[in-house]
Amino acid sequence: MDVELQILKHLARDAHPTVATIDEYCAEYKDLFKEVRNYECFKYLHLGIMSQIPRKSLPEIAKVVSINSAQSLHHFLANSDWSVNNLW
Protein backbone atom coordinates (compact mmCIF):
# COMPACT_ATOMS: atom_id res chain seq x y z
CA MET A 1 0.00 0.00 0.00
CA ASP A 2 1.42 3.38 -0.90
CA VAL A 3 2.05 6.14 1.64
CA GLU A 4 -0.69 8.45 0.32
CA LEU A 5 -3.32 5.76 0.77
CA GLN A 6 -2.05 4.99 4.27
CA ILE A 7 -2.36 8.67 5.17
CA LEU A 8 -5.88 8.92 3.74
CA LYS A 9 -6.98 5.83 5.66
CA HIS A 10 -5.14 6.98 8.82
CA LEU A 11 -3.13 3.78 8.91
CA ALA A 12 0.19 3.46 10.67
CA ARG A 13 3.18 3.96 8.41
CA ASP A 14 6.94 4.02 8.70
CA ALA A 15 8.80 7.30 8.80
CA HIS A 16 10.32 8.54 5.58
CA PRO A 17 14.01 7.66 5.46
CA THR A 18 16.62 10.43 5.50
CA VAL A 19 20.38 9.85 5.69
CA ALA A 20 21.48 6.53 7.18
CA THR A 21 23.49 8.15 9.99
CA ILE A 22 20.57 10.38 11.02
CA ASP A 23 18.08 7.50 10.78
CA GLU A 24 20.29 5.26 12.92
CA TYR A 25 20.87 7.93 15.56
CA CYS A 26 17.23 9.02 15.75
CA ALA A 27 15.95 5.42 15.90
CA GLU A 28 17.04 5.35 19.55
CA TYR A 29 14.38 8.00 20.28
CA LYS A 30 11.56 6.72 18.07
CA ASP A 31 9.51 5.37 20.99
CA LEU A 32 9.24 8.88 22.47
CA PHE A 33 6.92 9.97 19.68
CA LYS A 34 3.32 8.84 19.42
CA GLU A 35 2.89 10.04 15.82
CA VAL A 36 5.13 9.24 12.89
CA ARG A 37 4.93 12.87 11.72
CA ASN A 38 6.52 14.08 14.95
CA TYR A 39 9.27 11.49 14.62
CA GLU A 40 9.88 12.65 11.04
CA CYS A 41 10.18 16.26 12.19
CA PHE A 42 12.65 15.13 14.85
CA LYS A 43 14.74 13.49 12.12
CA TYR A 44 14.39 16.48 9.76
CA LEU A 45 15.63 18.87 12.43
CA HIS A 46 18.68 16.69 13.02
CA LEU A 47 19.33 16.51 9.30
CA GLY A 48 19.02 20.28 8.96
CA ILE A 49 21.30 20.98 11.89
CA MET A 50 23.95 18.65 10.45
CA SER A 51 23.65 20.14 6.95
CA GLN A 52 26.03 22.75 5.61
CA ILE A 53 23.49 25.57 5.38
CA PRO A 54 24.80 28.76 6.98
CA ARG A 55 21.50 29.73 8.68
CA LYS A 56 19.88 27.04 10.77
CA SER A 57 16.40 28.59 10.75
CA LEU A 58 13.26 26.48 10.38
CA PRO A 59 12.50 27.83 6.86
CA GLU A 60 16.06 27.05 5.72
CA ILE A 61 15.96 23.58 7.28
CA ALA A 62 12.61 22.92 5.59
CA LYS A 63 14.17 23.78 2.21
CA VAL A 64 17.17 21.52 2.81
CA VAL A 65 15.09 18.52 3.85
CA SER A 66 12.61 19.10 0.99
CA ILE A 67 9.42 19.73 2.91
CA ASN A 68 6.96 22.31 1.64
CA SER A 69 6.67 24.44 4.74
CA ALA A 70 8.50 25.09 7.96
CA GLN A 71 5.11 25.09 9.72
CA SER A 72 5.33 21.39 10.58
CA LEU A 73 8.76 21.90 12.14
CA HIS A 74 7.47 24.88 14.11
CA HIS A 75 4.44 22.91 15.30
CA PHE A 76 6.71 20.05 16.36
CA LEU A 77 8.83 22.37 18.50
CA ALA A 78 6.03 24.51 19.90
CA ASN A 79 2.99 22.27 20.31
CA SER A 80 3.82 18.56 20.21
CA ASP A 81 3.30 16.35 23.24
CA TRP A 82 6.90 15.08 23.47
CA SER A 83 9.09 16.11 26.36
CA VAL A 84 12.70 17.20 26.18
CA ASN A 85 13.20 15.58 29.60
CA ASN A 86 12.61 12.17 28.01
CA LEU A 87 15.59 12.68 25.70
CA TRP A 88 18.09 12.43 28.54
Host domain of residue 10 = 3-87
Backbone dihedral region for residue 2 (phi beyond 0: left; psi -120 to 50: alpha; all else: beta): beta
**pLDDT interval class at 1 (50, 70, 90):** low
CA–CA distance, 39 with 24 (Å, rounded to integer): 13
Rounded Cα gap, residues 38 and 25, in angstroms: 16
Q: Does 81 have pLDDT greater than 70?
A: yes
Does pTM top 0.75 for this prediction? yes
* pLDDT tens digits, 36-76: 889 999 999 999 999 999 999 999 999 999 898 899 999 99
| Cβ count within 10 A of residue 45 | 19
Tally of structural domains, the chain: 1
| pLDDT-derived band at 4, boundaries 50, 70, 90 | low
